[in-house]
Amino acid sequence: MTGPTMTGIVPRWESRIFARYVPPAAAAVLDATEPRSVEETDELYLLVPGADNVKVRDGLMDVKVLRETDAAGLQRWEPVLKAPFPLDREAVGTVFASLRLTAPAVPPEGLTLHEALAAAEAAASRGLRVVRVHKRRARYTVAGCAAERSDFEAAGRRTTSVAVESTDPREVLVALATLGLRNHRNVDVLAGLRMLLDGVPERYAVVDVGTNSVKFHVAELDTEGHGGWRTVVDRAEVTRLGEGLQATGVIGAEPLDRTARAIAAMAAEASRLEVRAIAAVGTAGTRMAGNRDEVVAAIRARSGLSLEVISGEDEARLAYLAAARGVGLGDGLVVVFDTGGGSSQFTFGHGPVVDERFSVDVGAARFTERFGLAEAVSPEVVADVRAAVAADLARLHGRPRPDAVVAMGGAVTNLAAVSHGLATYDPDVVQGTRLDAAEIDRQIERYRVLDAAGRRTVVGLQPARAEVILAGACIVRTVLDELGCDAVTVSDRGLRHGVLVERFGVGTEAPSH
């Protein structure tokens, strides 16, 4: 066809990602699916800022025009030209209109490829990039949609793309969910090539929605291709999602609103940082809530993120993964525990090998509400708290003494920050801190005699942690007693780092600051 119209072509909705590694969930689905076809092509892309998709493939000028982007970020592309060279006046008009350039005069014999490129370069001044791309593409069917996994090589650089397309946008969303790509940003081929050529950092984010706080972590893969991560953002906002959960069994409207607003702000920040995908996970608070579905729906409506409520076992496993990558574990018996607002996760292993993992409903927010620990309390109340925690940690009773104990979570990182007197939190100082039982006892006594306002004056303590720090310290100290140990190593790398490595970082290490 030599003209700009292509009859019988139905525009298709598309979503595409670009990444150094195919995300593990998508790779698992595609590896288990027989490809419908595999092909290798050499293509020539014409990149102009704000232009449509214009390329040369198989000796044909190929143009697709972006017609629409929907609320979910899906793009509707329409093929409008596939023409052989030389190009006639009508075809040249279509090409240059798609490039947002003024079309040149066209002689009766038309324009060759060389002549068309020269005219485009003259019209675009310095804005045109002509990019030669070698592409290997495997096509699949996933959830009724056309899908492809493509390897791109341009200017000596390589990247991988996974795309899904259908005439029905709802089918695309189902296929993206099947591939685990629902929270990935849609990046079209033109944008993906620009990012590849310009060396744009490959950034990913994790939002960890806990019972007491929401943690936000953004990291980027190193640009040298060595598989390491560099932290861009790592912060937490105390939203007290689980406020009242112990008494009512549901998450209240105000805590949900606070949390959804915080998550929406984090999603907006991730967008400004050009994050390619966000993994949002919910832990004990959302697991226990009788209105879990309402919580997930509210967060999606406010932020656009699909919150995945993970099991206690998965939470423990991912925390162990973060500790193994971040602290380094010896070959002996190791216990890694992560204590949060609503639960604590325990993983037992030897070095990188996990032997057992489980979750228990022991969390700082729960015990703070139960025993009134936001206020100053008597030594007898602290003793009652310790006894109640020990009773709920029955699964630790009678186990062999481990060679090492690693702890993570807001309680233990705040204990470490206070022990160092950090007026400004420094994750590199906190990482690997050894807290002995005497130091934890000292801090328990300090918090016991102060109310929340008084605790906020303690150097190193995050002000928003003032209400729950006494309960958190009691939990950490009781865990040491139950395991027969006198010290714990603190890991600043937590669940969010484990999620990052598992979801986005095949063969990579936990992020460094």
Radius of gyration of the chain (CA): 27
The pLDDT of residue 7: 56
The half-sphere exposure of 255 on its side-chain side, counting CA atoms within 13 A, is 23
| Residue 3, in any domain of the structure | no
CB 406 within 8 A of CB 488: yes
The pLDDT of residue 1: 39
Which CATH number do you get for residue 244? 3.30.420.40
CA distance 268 to 381: 43
| Residue 411, in any domain of the structure | yes
458 and 487 housed in the same domain: yes
| Residue 108, in any domain of the structure | yes
Alpha carbon of 44 to those of 113, 120, 190: distances in Å?
Answer: 11, 14, 12
The pLDDT of residue 224: 59
| Residue 409, in any domain of the structure | yes
CA distance 496 to 310: 12
137 and 167 housed in the same domain: yes
The pLDDT of residue 414: 96
The pLDDT of residue 140: 98
Query: How many domains does the chain divide into?
Result: 3
Q: What pLDDT digit, counting tens, does each position of 455-499 carry?
A: 999 999 999 999 999 999 999 999 999 999 999 999 988 889 889
169 and 237 housed in the same domain: no
| Residue 400, in any domain of the structure | yes
**pLDDT beneath 70: ranges in the chain:** 1-9, 223-227, 325-330, 506-513
| Residue 500, in any domain of the structure | no
CA distance 219 to 221: 7
157 and 258 housed in the same domain: no
Look up the domain containing 222 and give its range. Answer: 203-312
Which CATH number do you get for residue 57? 2.40.320
Q: Which residues contact 270 (CB under 8 A, 6 or more apart)?
A: 205, 218, 278
The pLDDT of residue 506: 54
93 and 110 housed in the same domain: yes
Nearest to 243 by CA among 222, 257, 231, 233: 257
Q: Of 130, 163, 198, which marks where a domain is finished?
A: 198
CA distance 202 to 225: 11
334 and 468 housed in the same domain: yes
CA distance 357 to 318: 10
- Which residues are bridge partners to 40 per DSSP? 136
The pLDDT of residue 226: 52
| Residue 142, in any domain of the structure | yes
CA-based end-to-end distance of the chain: 55
Here the tokens at position 429 are 């100082």
